[in-house]
């Protein structure tokens, strides 16, 4: 197995608020393999977006990466811990947008309305290379072609507000690829789009991933998107990875009660017409009321009284690449979180 291109280890990103500390990400660990798509999935509020922002070191105040490691492996074999870099410093700016491209949910808030998309692309290209303006403009047209923008030589002079939602998201992907990154982070890239456009953007991401050999982190709340796109899956709940493994294992042999609940809530073509979708019992705890012990225990039908509400399960390996944090599979636990620490995710 190839060495991971990115390894996240026991990442904690907390928000220091007047009311207390909110642990949005609380000990998440996972690996991204070169050329693989890693899907990070969980309900809204599980910390997946904060994880992406932590990797890019763009967590907004009062949040900050508290501890853990984000290890980026370079082609020469050297490894840099992004947590140790200054989030606003030169080296991190070169990583962000250079080695790691990113696409977020709402392109309108990421694209400028005052500059043509061509100028934004040219700026992104020249930020990470010494290309002349003319060469960068040619490259911008090439990138628009690559992401399937019709009439790219004309569209390069358009403004973002002149484009449809789907075309804007394609421009965002072109921007993310401007510096030829090795990793692409896509955070709910299709959520704001209609169903047809969603499918087109996912197709495009899949094609680019294969053609460019990119390693992709795809963040979504949608298990259907994971099934279609991911090689490997990390299931997150309240800031922790609760299960991870290859996509086939997660879909055919899910171990964690939360993963099983997520899978049961997917619409199935085999379901009886008009049958009701199963929903996950209960709701994500209030940000300021994180349960002690396993964070899923108040919603878990399999919870073991006296154990699940007292200690936090550590990961147990069920296979070479399949791990679960749940006492149903044995494994050790750590004492419950100290009372009084407040928590929120995303």
Tell me: does residue 257 bind ligand SF4 (CB under 6 A).
Answer: yes
What does the DSSP 8-state code read for residue 337? P
Quick one: which segment of 26-34, 187-195, 267-275, 321-329 binds ligand SF4 (CB under 6 A)?
321-329
What's the token pair of residue 169? Answer: 């998201």
Which of 35, 346, 68, 309 is CA-nearest to residue 187? Answer: 346
Site mask for ligand SF4 (CB under 6 A), range 148-187, x = bound: ----------------------------------------
Task: Give the shortest CB-334-to-ligand SF4 separation in angstroms.
Answer: 12
Distance CA 140, CA 153 (A): 9
Cα within 13 Å of Cα(333), Cβ side: 21
Closer Cβ to ligand SF4, 86 or 302, answer by number: 302
Per CB under 6 A, does 280 bind ligand SF4? no
- Nearest CB to ligand SF4, comparing residues 93 and 260: 260
> Cβ contacts of residue 186 below 8 Å, gap of 6+?
102, 103, 205, 216, 217, 218, 219
Contact status, residue 216 vs residue 39, Cβ threshold 8 Å: no
Residue 172 or 326 having the CB closest to ligand SF4? 326
Show the DSSP H helices in 230-309 as ranges. Answer: 247-252, 257-264
**Alpha-carbon gap, residue 122 to 196, rounded angstroms:** 30
**CA–CA separation, 138 vs 143, rounded Å?**
9
Residue count at the site for ligand SF4 (CB under 6 A)?
14
CB of 304 to ligand SF4, least distance (A): 6
Minimum Å gap between C-beta 52 and ligand SF4 is 25
* 326 is a site residue for ligand SF4 (CB under 6 A): yes
Q: Are 51 and 240 spatial neighbours (Cβ–Cβ below 8 Å)?
A: no
Question: Does 328 participate in binding ligand SF4 (rule CB under 6 A)?
Answer: yes
Q: Which range of residues in 105-113, 212-220, 263-271, 322-330 is near ligand SF4 by CB under 6 A? A: 322-330
Q: Any contact of residue 237 with ligand SF4 (CB under 6 A)?
A: no
Q: Which of 14-22, 37-45, 219-227, 323-331 is the region at the interface with ligand SF4 (rule: CB under 6 A)?
A: 323-331
Q: Cβ 335 to ligand SF4, closest distance in Å?
A: 14
Question: 110-130: buried (b, 16+ CB within 10 Å) or exposed (e) per residue?
Answer: bbeeeebbbbbbbebbbebee
Q: How many CA atoms lie within 13 A of 96 on its CB side?
A: 19
By beta-carbon proximity to ligand SF4, the closer residue of 144 and 324 is 324
**Cβ closest to ligand SF4, residue 80 vs residue 328:** 328
Q: Are 94 and 180 in contact (CB under 8 A)?
A: no
Q: Which is closer to ligand SF4, CB of 223 or CB of 326?
A: 326
Q: How far is the CB of 233 from ligand SF4 (least distance, A)?
A: 17
Query: Scanning residues 290 to 319, which ones bind ligand SF4 (CB under 6 A)?
Result: 294, 296-297, 300, 302-304, 308, 313
Please state, in angstroms and rounded to a whole number, the distance separating the CA atoms of residues 334 and 312.
5
Q: Which residues bind ligand SF4 (CB under 6 A)?
A: 256-257, 294, 296-297, 300, 302-304, 308, 313, 326-328
């Amino acid at each position: 197995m190839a060495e991971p291109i990115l390894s996240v280890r026991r990442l904690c990103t907390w928000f220091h608020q007047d009311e207390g500390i909110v642990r949005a990400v609380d000990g998440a660990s996972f690996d991204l393999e070169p050329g693989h798509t890693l899907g990070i999935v969980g309900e809204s509020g599980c910390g997946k977006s904060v994880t992406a922002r932590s990797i890019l070191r763009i967590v907004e105040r009062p949040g900050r990466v508290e501890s853990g490691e984000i290890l980026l492996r370079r082609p020469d074999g050297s490894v840099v811990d992004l947590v140790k870099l200054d989030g606003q410093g030169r080296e991190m700016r070169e990583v962000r947008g250079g080695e790691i491209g990113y696409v977020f949910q709402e392109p309108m808030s990421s694209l400028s309305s005052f500059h043509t998309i061509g100028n934004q692309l040219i700026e992104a290209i020249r930020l990470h290379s010494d290309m002349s303006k003319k060469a960068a403009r040619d490259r911008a047209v090439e990138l628009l072609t690559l992401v399937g923008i019709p009439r790219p030589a004309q569209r390069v002079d358009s403004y973002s507000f002149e484009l449809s939602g789907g075309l804007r998201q394609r421009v965002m992907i072109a921007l993310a690829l401007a510096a030829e990154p090795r990793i692409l982070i896509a955070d709910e890239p299709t959520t704001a789009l209609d169903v047809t456009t969603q499918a087109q953007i996912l197709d495009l991401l899949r094609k680019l991933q294969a053609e460019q050999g990119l390693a992709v982190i795809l963040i979504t709340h949608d298990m259907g998107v994971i099934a279609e796109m991911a090689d490997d899956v990390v299931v997150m709940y309240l800031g922790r990875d609760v299960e991870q493994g290859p996509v086939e294992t997660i879909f055919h042999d899910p171990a964690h009660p939360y993963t099983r609940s997520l899978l049961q809530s997917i619409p199935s073509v085999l379901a009886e017409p008009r049958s009701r979708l199963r929903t996950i019992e209960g709701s994500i705890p209030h940000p300021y009321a994180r349960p002690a012990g396993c964070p899923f225990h108040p919603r878990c039908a399999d919870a073991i009284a006296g154990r699940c509400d007292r200690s936090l399960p550590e990961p147990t390996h069920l296979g070479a690449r399949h791990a679960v944090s749940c006492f149903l599979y044995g494994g050790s636990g750590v004492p419950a979180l100290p009372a009084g620490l407040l928590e929120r995710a995303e």
